[in-house]
Structure formats: C-alpha cells, structure tokens
Structure 1
Amino acid sequence: MFGLTPLGTVHTAIALVAVAAGLVALVRDKEISPDTGLGRTYLWATVLTCLTSFGIFQHGGFGVPHVLSLITLLTLALAMLAARTAVLGRASRYVSTLAFSLSFFFHTIPGATETFTRLPAGAPLFSGPEDPALQKLVGVFFVLFLIGAGLQVRRLWAGSAGVVARAA
C-alpha cells in the first residue's frame, strides 16, 4: 500500500486513530485532555505511533522523524506531568493544554510529509521533505497551532477568572 512496510501500515493506522481522536477532542472540547476517553485514546495512540516509528527506516538510519518522535514523547510526558501534579502550580493547566496541542501539531509534520509525497499515486503533490511548498504547508499548520493555542489560553484565562470571582 503506497510503498508502506507492514510496520509502516500499522504505524499509519495507529497515527490516524490518534489524529482523529485529537481532532475530535479539539473541536468538541477545545482541548485534548487525558481526563476524557478521546484524550486517553489520543495519548496512547500517539505514544504507540512514536514507538512504532523507531522501527521505520525508510529514509536511511535514525533521522529527523525519529527525533520528532522523541520530542513528541517528551512533550506528552510534560503534558501528563502538568495534568497530574501541581509541580508547575497555576501554570499546570496551561502547560498541559498547550503541550497536548503542540503534540497534535507534531502529528501534522510527518502526516503531511508522508501523505503528500506519496499521493496522489504516481504524481505526488510534493517531491520530498525538503520541498519548499511542503515546508510552507507545515508553516501554515504551525500558524494554525499558534492561533489555536492563543484561543486555548484565552479560554483558560477566562475560566480561571470566573473561578476567582466565584471564590471571592
């Protein structure tokens, strides 16, 4: 299937579950939270996506996609640390929410790269990871992440202001 190995096929299927769960959570709940079924599905599917990526060496040895998987795992660890402890104080809710959203952005990089350097079959949209048009698309995804992150911070800020007002 589009030049995928059996591991690549499993990896892609798991990644699609993660992306679908994350997208639905972001649209429905305005965040990816480990306290919801969608959030837990996103978290574990993303972890499995990262772990399965370490066995894929389509472009040679250990490379940029593997580094992105490590960064994603660290970002998820930070998100969970912030979600489950008070180590970051009042910033914990913000850090957790934004770290989960950042991990979702990370999905877009290999997702766009692997999809659009293979499809449409026989005439892919981009020539490879270094294609300037692909890099612009990733830039658009980053701007969308920044806009979403800003909206999330605004929503969290408004929610915490309401909590303070009710407590007074």
Structure 2
Amino acid sequence: MFGISPLGWIHTIGSLPAIPVALYMFARHGRIVPRSPLGVVYFVSMLIGAVTVFLVAHQLVSFVIGAVTILLLLAGYGIERILGPARVAGYIETVCLSLSAFLLMLPTVTEILRRVPDGHPLVTDLKSPLLLGAQGSLLVILVVGLTAQIVYLARRGRVAANW
C-alpha cells in the first residue's frame, strides 16, 4: 500500500507520534518541552524516524535530513546539561527542537503529497507548484514560529531580570 516497504512502515509508524505531540506542545506551551513526558515521547519517536531513515532512504537529501535531525535532537535535549539553566540554553533548546519539528514535517508533507491517493498521487514531480507551495508554507510557519518563540523568551527574560 502506498508503495511503502515493511521497513518503511516501521519508519513511518515509529516517527508518527512526534507529529501530534509536537503540535500539542507548540499549541500548549509555545515550544517543545524536552523535560516532560510528552517531550520523551517526541524524542524517542523522532529518534526512531531519524535513525530508520538511513535504512529506507534512496536520496542523499534524506540522509542529510536524518543526520541533521539527530544532531538537533541531541543539542536540544542536551544543551541544558552542558550550559546549565543559562538563558542562552533556552534559546538554543527552543531553536534546535523547532528546527527538528520542521525537518519532521518537510519530508512528511512531501511524502504524503507524492503517495496519496494511492496510485494517483497529488504530486508526481518534485517541482510541482503544489509541493513547492506546501514546502514554502512550512518554511513561513518555521520563520514566524521561531520569531515568536525568540521574542517570547526575550520578554520572559526581561521580566525575570526586573524582579
């Protein structure tokens, strides 16, 4: 079904929980919260997806996205251990984990448009206006979202400094 191999299904199903978890945390907290139960689900699910991409991918860009995603996850989840609760750690954590969510959604949207409906996908060409528009929309969401997160962190830091 959808031209996905059994290993491809493991990759897809393994990484799938990260999508609703990330959306929930963005809506509820404005960011991915690594030190929470849902943060653990996000990390494990993203790691499954990023590691298994090396087993199912056929294009260099997929390997690059997988490697960068792993690096972003490790940086986002580990920066506070390295820097402690320093203000800059919050910025790095937020940026890294937001970028990891973007790198999750970019291939997800691309693959959905290239596989659905089964046998007659919406997109057959990587230069399709529909695909490029969807990818461009994700980029706009990333830029606007990261800007809002950084502004929020900066304001929160100023308020805390004034106490």
TM-score by length of 1: 0.89
Equivalent position of 2:23 in the other structure? 23
Secondary structure (helix, strand or coil) at the match of 1:4 reads: coil
1:1-168 correspondence to structure 2 within 5 Å = 1-57=1-57, 59=58, 63-86=60-83, 89-166=86-163
> Number of aligned pairs?
163
CA distance in 1, matches of 2:85, 2:51: 27
In the TM superposition, residue 44 of structure 1 has moved relative to its aligned partner by 1.3
In the TM superposition, residue 128 of structure 1 has moved relative to its aligned partner by 3.7
In the TM superposition, residue 89 of structure 1 has moved relative to its aligned partner by 4.6
TM-score by length of 2: 0.92
- Amino acid aligned to 2:143: L
CA distance in 1, matches of 2:125, 2:10: 22
In the TM superposition, residue 97 of structure 1 has moved relative to its aligned partner by 0.6
8 A contact 1:53–1:66 mirrored in 2: yes
Deviations 1:31-56 (A, max 9, x none): 10211111111111101111111111
Q: Could you tell me the percent identity over the aligned residues? A: 29
Change (3 A) 1:75 1:88: farther
8 A contact 1:18–1:45 mirrored in 2: yes
Bigger proportion of residues as helix: 2
Secondary structure (helix, strand or coil) at the match of 1:54 reads: helix
Structure 1 residue runs without a partner (length 5+): none
Structure 2 residue runs without a partner (length 5+): none
Query: What is the RMSD computed on CA atoms of the aligned residues?
Result: 1.7
- Amino acid aligned to 1:110: P
8 A contact 1:82–1:88 mirrored in 2: no
8 A contact 2:114–2:121 mirrored in 1: yes
- Amino acid aligned to 1:24: Y
8 A contact 2:115–2:121 mirrored in 1: yes
Bigger relative CO (Cα 8 Å, ≥ 6 apart): 2
Secondary structure (helix, strand or coil) at the match of 2:56 reads: coil
